[in-house]
């Protein structure tokens, strides 16, 4: 028999509410853990399952930081866990289905551990349909919180443990920026650094502006301090995060300081590698390109999602640039940052994409020669404008487009890597390869994966090696 949903509901999410960008300023807040929550997790273990983008990976490090402050310890074994939290992604339908499958599977562990708590957070929690589904079909999920509610976690865990209450708390409109959330970083050498939150682009296919709230930038001093302190701790690489890093600073009312300024300031810091993601082609400006051209610790790689090579489709997607403008920016990048590696995201079978429009995407791929790409079949997202556009393509036609595009793209991945054969490159060592522990892996400055025999090097070292063979997805190297 199905359990009756019995939730204490603080707030339900609403896509319509999320659209309302209220004029109010975003406050910078400080996180303090109430002493009442301090020992709640002692002798208990947590497991975090993270889906989606780097933004979610970074949030999970904050969630882990909060849980550890409460006394919880991390475990990687589902069977050992007293609390399993799913930090979810809503970008495409299949990602969502997978999560519910996993939750159903994990629930079975309650037979062994009746006190097991299950939590769901992240972008799916911001969707009305998820909350409906949880109430009707997954009422055994104990804790649900949204992307603006990470700081509610201690209280939600408290209610579940002490009062045996299942609770949902999701704010539709963003709250504050928290400057000093505890953080448990996954790596000792590579760190995520949020520089901004939210997205105001409203691409017509995309759910992110609804799940992540309006664009709001962290103050430059806070970011610079964080990077400096990471450098002092021995970090070798930081990746600056934002859904559209090129819009950084545009929300400052008292300061004329944008992404190019930030890169220039970070270039002065003694840390070997600075990366950033994601760039929006419309907002990528000359100042940013000039800052990248400084080289040094600013890595010669840019992820610049194009989505489509056809102007009609770009317009329908509300991307606010044309194919020609995109190509012009690529030309400038290649000219000012010689050897730069450019990667991208592409959506095929967007509702208005005709055969000719699709061929425009293929021709753009040939022109730019992307050295990496994430490619997707368009997935309608409830509440977004494009979900209402008619889409006459059959599932088979959609898949054919994706397969053909991938074949073409893979040839440029290979070409992009072959240019390094017999060259000396610098690699930041990640450690043993997952597939073959005899081999180590690491990334080059151009963000390309290299496998090599370790010969005494260790995780976090930056080493020189000769590339002996290139493949589409990785390269083989030999230490020199």
CB nearer to ligand SAH: pick between 345 and 369: 345
CB 263 within 8 A of CB 242: no
Smallest distance, ligand SF4 to C-beta of residue 385, A: 11
Residue in 66, 131, 262, 347 binding ligand SAH, rule: CB under 6 A:
347
Q: Which one of ligand F3S, ligand SF4, ligand SAH, none interacts with residue 66, CB within 5 to 8 A by kind?
A: none
Burial (0-12, 13-18, 19+ Cβ within 10 Å), 153? buried
CB 436 within 8 A of CB 470: no
Nearest C-alpha neighbor of 239 from the set 303, 335, 290: 303
280 binds ligand SF4 (CB under 6 A): yes
Residue nearest to ligand SAH (CB): 345
> Hey, is 36 helix, strand or coil?
helix
CB 262 within 8 A of CB 223: yes
Q: Which one of ligand SAH, ligand F3S, ligand SF4, none interacts with residue 56, CB within 5 to 8 A by kind?
A: ligand F3S
Smallest distance, ligand SAH to C-beta of residue 329, A: 14
Structure tokens at 2: 């199905």
Smallest distance, ligand SF4 to C-beta of residue 204, A: 9
Smallest distance, ligand SAH to C-beta of residue 281, A: 9
Structure tokens at 125: 């929690």
381 binds ligand SAH (CB under 6 A): yes
Nearest C-alpha neighbor of 288 from the set 345, 225, 327, 245: 245
Contacting residues toward ligand F3S, per CB under 6 A? 52-53, 55-56, 89-91, 122-123, 207-208, 211-212
CB nearer to ligand F3S: pick between 207 and 467: 207
Q: Which stretch binds ligand SF4 (CB under 6 A): 92-100, 198-206, 333-341, 456-464?
A: 198-206
CB nearer to ligand F3S: pick between 57 and 290: 57
122 binds ligand SF4 (CB under 6 A): no
92 binds ligand SF4 (CB under 6 A): no
CB 200 within 8 A of CB 215: yes
Query: Could you give the residue ranges of the DSSP H alpha helices within 337-422?
Result: 355-368, 395-418
Angle between helices 286-293 and 323-336 (to 10 degrees): 30
Spell out, one character per residue from 234 to 253, where the chain touches ligand SF4: x when CB under 6 A holds, - when not: ---------xx---------
The DSSP line for 61-84 is HHHHHHHHHTT-EE-S-GGG-SEE
Residues making contact with ligand SF4 (CB under 6 A)? 199, 201-203, 206, 208-209, 243-244, 280
């Amino acid at each position: 028999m199905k359990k009756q949903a019995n939730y204490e509901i603080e707030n339900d999410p609403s896509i319509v509410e999320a659209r309302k960008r209220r004029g109010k300023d975003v406050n910078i807040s400080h996180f303090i853990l109430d002493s009442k929550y301090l020992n709640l997790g002692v002798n208990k273990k947590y497991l975090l399952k993270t889906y989606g983008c780097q933004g979610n990976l970074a949030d999970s490090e904050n969630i882990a930081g909060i849980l550890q402050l409460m006394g919880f310890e991390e475990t990687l074994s589902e069977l050992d866990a007293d609390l399993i939290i799913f930090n979810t992604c809503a970008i495409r339908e299949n990602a969502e289905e997978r999560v519910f499958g996993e939750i159903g599977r994990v629930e079975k562990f309650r037979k062994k551990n009746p006190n097991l708590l299950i939590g769901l957070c992240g972008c799916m929690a911001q969707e009305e349909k998820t909350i409906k589904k949880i109430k009707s079909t997954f009422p055994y999920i104990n804790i649900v919180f949204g992307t603006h509610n990470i700081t509610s976690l201690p209280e939600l865990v408290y209610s579940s443990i002490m009062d045996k209450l299942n609770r949902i708390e999701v704010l539709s409109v963003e709250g504050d920026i928290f400057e000093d959330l505890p953080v448990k970083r996954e790596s000792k050498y590579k760190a995520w650094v949020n520089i901004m939150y939210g997205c105001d682009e409203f691409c017509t296919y995309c759910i992110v502006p609804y799940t992540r709230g309006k664009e709001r930038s962290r103050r430059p001093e806070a970011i610079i301090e964080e990077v400096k302190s990471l450098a002092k701790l021995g970090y070798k690489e930081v990746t600056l995060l934002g859904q559209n890093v090129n819009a950084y600073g545009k929300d400052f009312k008292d300061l004329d300081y944008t992404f190019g300024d930030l890169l220039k300031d970070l270039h002065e810091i003694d840390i070997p590698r600075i990366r950033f993601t994601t760039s929006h082609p419309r907002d990528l400006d000359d100042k940013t390109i000039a800052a990248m051209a400084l080289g040094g610790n600013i890595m010669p790689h840019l992820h610049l999602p194009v989505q489509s090579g056809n102007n009609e489709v770009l317009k329908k997607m509300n991307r606010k640039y044309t194919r020609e403008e995109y190509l012009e920016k690529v030309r400038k990048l290649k000219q000012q940052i010689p050897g730069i590696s450019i990667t991208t995201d592409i959506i095929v079978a967007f509702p208005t994409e005709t055969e000719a429009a699709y061929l425009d995407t293929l021709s753009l791929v040939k022109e730019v020669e992307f050295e990496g790409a994430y490619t997707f079949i368009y997935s309608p997202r409830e509440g977004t404008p494009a979900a209402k556009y008619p889409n006459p393509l059959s599932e088979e036609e959609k898949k054919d487009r994706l397969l053909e595009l991938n074949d073409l793209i893979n040839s440029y991945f290979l070409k992009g890597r072959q240019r390094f054969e017999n060259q000396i490159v610098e690699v930041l060592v990640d450690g043993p390869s997952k597939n073959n522990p005899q081999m180590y892996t690491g990334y080059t400055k151009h963000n390309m994966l290299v496998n090599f025999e370790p010969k005494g090097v260790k995780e976090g070292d930056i080493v020189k090696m000769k590339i002996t063979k290139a493949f589409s997805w990785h390269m083989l190297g030999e230490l020199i």
